[in-house]
Chains A and B, each alone.
Chain A
Amino acid sequence: MSVLVYIDYVPATRQPRQESITIVDVAREIASKLGTDVEGVLVNSVVVATKMRDMKILPRIYNIRLKNVPEGTYIPTLFGDALVEFCKKRNIEVLLFPATQRCREIAPYVAAKLDTGLVADVAELYVDERKEVIAVKPSFGENILAHIYIPDRKPKMFTVRASARKTPPPQYEQCELVHEEVSVPDSGKIEYVKSGQVYDPDIDILPERHDIVIGVGAGLSKESIDLIKAIAKKLGIGVGATKKITDKGILSTKFLIGESGKIIRPRIYVALGISGAPQHMTGVKDYEMLIAVNVDDRAPILNYSTHFYKSDANELVRKIAELVLR
């Protein structure tokens, strides 16, 4: 019996995703509460398997090798079928995926093939007194946290938002690397052609990279948000956004904090023009200071704030810009 962690990586660069590392922290916790082993698995990359082995954060990593498929080729059904074959041969209690877009693509396919349950985009996992693994998932925005579990089936599958977790320290003297070949059905129906990097000029102000984050909400104009990005770049801090802002396309979903976005643990969160809806606030945890600026001094954000300043946030942004960008 084991808790298995799926290791996601960028096929073209063979670089493990950071979330594949931080999710090990979640997996170790669940495994120790269940009294089981924890292991890692990835599909078809010796390079990634070796990088992960050298971190010594897992006692054992399986690299599922695919015959006649070069490293760096990714196809969802191919990776999914490989995992399915691997899981069928083992007694896996829990299978965890980091909630990356690639994993959100593979995991439901694997769950259907294994005829088991999957809970998406889990904010938190815990083990209850009956030793049942329970996923906490914010649902339907306002006020609802659903606790979901998977009785009677194996493996119990979860995609977990783990970006706010810390990188687990090395814990094992040795990490055993096991290469295992599986044969999967012909994937000739779909072929990988090529991939390209899209340059993202905002990479250095993504919220999970910083412990000081400015959150922007519907109370800010697009012009103000552009100024905030420039201010954040200059100061070396992060920017986060509410769903209203990412849905409008003013910022990409990489900035989204809360439900369906990221969970962050900043030391300081500056909430500008954010009303404080629960679906956003569930993504901001363990802060030392939350400084809110809002025209409405009865907005729910007050319930979360350590400091409140009543003002049109746009006006304040202009003032800060004058000080920082001049």
Chain B
Amino acid sequence: MLNIAIITKTVVPIVSTVKVDERTGSLIREGVPTTLNPWDYAAIELALKLREEYGGKVVAISMAPPFARDVLEDIIGMGVDEAYLVSDRAFAGSDTLATSYILAAAIRYVMPDFDIVLAGQEAADSLTSHVPAQVASFLSVPYLYYIVNIVKIDLVNRIVNVERILEDEDRIEEFKVKLPAVFSVYKKNIILPIRVSRKIEAKINRKVKMITNRELNLEQSRIGLSGSPTRVSKVVNYTLEPRRPAKVEKNSEEFAKWLLEIVQEKLRERQ
């Protein structure tokens, strides 16, 4: 039996629609369409696979404004046992540190006897990869990023051997980890499609549950804007003076030759 908590994020698929509150520097997410972070599918898939093999329970936890409920309903449809939306006005403006603090408290609240916390490698909109390590820090458990494979699990001693990939070092590493632990799952480890066929039935039978700060009872100084060490000083549009390129009028063979000549000339200069 394994108790698995997945931390997921709702992200903005159409990136250009995001606006920033100029007063606080926080993102205005209301009214912006959201979807499940694409890299979280890998974590959900791994969780369901582990439950299939070893039994146990899988819960999904997401911190987001109330409108993210739809995304969690979809996750229930994929086959997780329970889904929790962590949402409160007091949480608004949280950076990654405050978010991790809140999520760690939510995991303790929902699944105090968790064995594994799984997350996607990064969020497709903010790309920080901070949350899994910081959640592990607040939960005081070991963690590893970029997991590609669970080699074996010793359920009696609660020890798991995992393999992870470091793409920028071309290296695979194996570790032996005593549970409970936090893992982020390598983003290209997705074996789609997930079991979406159970979606509608599951959605009817199991509702997304809400967690607010009434349940978690966290100090204001650790959450929201006041619990966030980072500040956005300004947000600027990326603008540039447009260039006026020379339009090359040649047939494709001439152009290919012209291009190669330029490249080879520069290569000769270098030598």
Contacts and interface: CB of A to CB of B under 8 A. Distances in A.
Interface in A69-123: 74-77, 80, 100-102, 104-109, 111-113, 115-121
Interface residues of A, number: 98
Contacts of B12: 140
B193 interface: no
A146 interface: yes
A10 B169 contact: yes
Interface in B118-173: 122, 125-134, 136-138, 141-146, 161, 165-173
Interface in A270-288: 270, 278-279, 282
Of A108, A143, A147, A315, most buried by chain B (CB within 10 Å of CB) is A108
A117 B129 CA distance: 14
Contacts of A304: 240, 243
Secondary structure at chain A's binding surface: helix, strand, loop or mixed?
Answer: mixed
Interface in B231-271: 231-240, 242-243, 245-248, 250, 252-253, 255-257, 259-260, 262-264, 266-267, 270
Interface string A116-137: 1111110000000000101000
A306 B245 contact: yes
A144 to B, nearest CB: 6
B97 A189 contact: no
Contact of A306 (B166, B246, B264): B246
Interface in B66-92: none
A68 interface: no
A139 B95 CA distance: 14
Interface residues of B, number: 81
A143 B243 contact: no
Given A140-B15, A141-B16, A109 B137 contact: yes
A147 B236 contact: yes
A324 interface: yes
Given A190-B177, A193-B176, A112 B100 contact: yes
A259 interface: yes
B166 A101 contact: yes
A150 B228 CA distance: 9
B70 to A, nearest CB: 21
Contacts of B94: none
A218 interface: no
A309 B235 contact: no
Nearest to B168: A101
Nearest to A152: B229
Nearest to A253: B167
Contacts of B15: 140-142, 279
Contacts of B257: 323
A143 B239 CA distance: 7
Interface string B95-119: 1110010000000000000000000
Given A144-B20, A307-B245, A291 B134 contact: no
A268 B168 contact: no
28 contacts: A77-B136, A106-B133, A108-B132, A111-B134, A112-B100, A112-B134, A120-B128, A138-B238, A148-B233, A151-B231, A152-B229, A189-B142, A189-B177, A190-B144, A190-B175, A190-B177, A191-B176, A194-B174, A195-B171, A200-B170, A212-B266, A267-B266, A303-B242, A307-B248, A308-B247, A309-B250, A315-B252, A319-B252
Interface of A: 10, 12, 74-77, 80, 100-102, 104-109, 111-113, 115-121, 132, 134, 138-153, 187-200, 203, 211-212, 235-237, 249, 252-254, 259-260, 267-268, 270, 278-279, 282, 289-292, 297, 302-311, 315-316, 319-320, 322-324
Closest 3 CB pairs of A and B: A117-B229, A141-B15, A305-B245
